[in-house]
């Protein structure tokens, strides 16, 4: 059923979807006030955050993520129902990141709550630039969430890592349109960005084409 919905993907739609999901306007990668790590079970989260810290791209690290019963973790996850933030923090310390510069929240179960609960444990009032560690297909949604929920005048700089669709091919901006699973993963992000933008959870996309709006509606009613 999903494959039939995507049969009419034109090159223009592919370019529009790619821009919404994988891109976020920002300055080139540069040192930031804080490295923000969105919750999750993928080892790329702590590996990428540690890499950013050792490159001196952030002085502090904010780690997020609670425990969401029933969620499908990354296949390498061996930590049961341990809150994601605890695991990310532990792995960062193993990667020679000082525990003293890590701030964490362990209650969130989605990206919006990642940011809202992080504000309870870290003072963002003097932050002007945030480095956002997330999956590459989470850039559009999660960076927009940071921008909307922290402050309009901050710079949010994506620092993403590539991930696979289950045990399948890696999802990248260049290949997502070639596989049914990755098409669904990426388009789910478009639907979320559109919906949460209207709800005020994240910074909305300035303009969505009529063709994409129609595709979103077909996907929602499948």
- Asked whether the beta carbons of 10 and 203 are under 8 A apart, the reply is no
Side-chain half-sphere CA neighbours of 111 within 13 A: 22
Picking from 162, 159, 161, the residue whose alpha carbon sits closest to that of residue 52 is 159
Domain positions in the chain are: 2-220
- Asked whether the beta carbons of 159 and 173 are under 8 A apart, the reply is no
What's the token pair of residue 131? 């480095």
Q: Which residues contact 215 (CB under 8 A, 6 or more apart)?
A: 5, 8, 13, 187
CATH code for residues 2-220: 3.40.50.620
**Average pLDDT per consecutive 10 residues, the chain (222 residues; last block may be shorter):** 69 95 87 97 97 98 92 88 96 98 97 98 96 97 97 94 81 91 92 96 94 88 74
């Amino acid at each position: 059923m999903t494959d039939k919905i995507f049969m009419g993907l034109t090159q223009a739609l592919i370019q529009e979807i790619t821009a919404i999901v994988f891109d976020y306007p920002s300055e080139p990668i540069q040192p930031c006030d804080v490295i923000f790590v969105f919750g999750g079970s993928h080892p790329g989260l702590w590996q990428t955050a540690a890499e950013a810290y050792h490159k001196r791209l952030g002085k502090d690290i904010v780690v997020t993520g609670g425990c969401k019963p029933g969620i499908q973790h990354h296949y390498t996850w061996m930590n049961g129902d341990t809150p994601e933030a605890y695991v990310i923090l532990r792995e960062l310390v193993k990667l020679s990141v000082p525990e003293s510069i890590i701030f964490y929240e362990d209650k969130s179960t989605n990206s919006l709550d990642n940011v809202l609960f992080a504000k309870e444990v870290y003072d963002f009032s003097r932050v002007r630039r945030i480095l956002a560690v997330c999956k590459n297909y989470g850039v559009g949604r999660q960076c927009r969430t940071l921008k909307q929920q922290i402050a309009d005048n901050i710079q949010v700089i994506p620092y993403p890592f590539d991930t696979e669709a289950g045990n399948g091919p890696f999802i990248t901006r260049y290949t997502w349109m070639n596989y049914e699973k990755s098409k669904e993963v990426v388009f789910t992000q478009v639907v979320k960005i559109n919906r949460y933008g209207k709800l005020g959870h994240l910074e909305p996309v300035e303009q969505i084409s009529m063709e994409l709006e129609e595709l979103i509606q077909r996907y929602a009613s499948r």
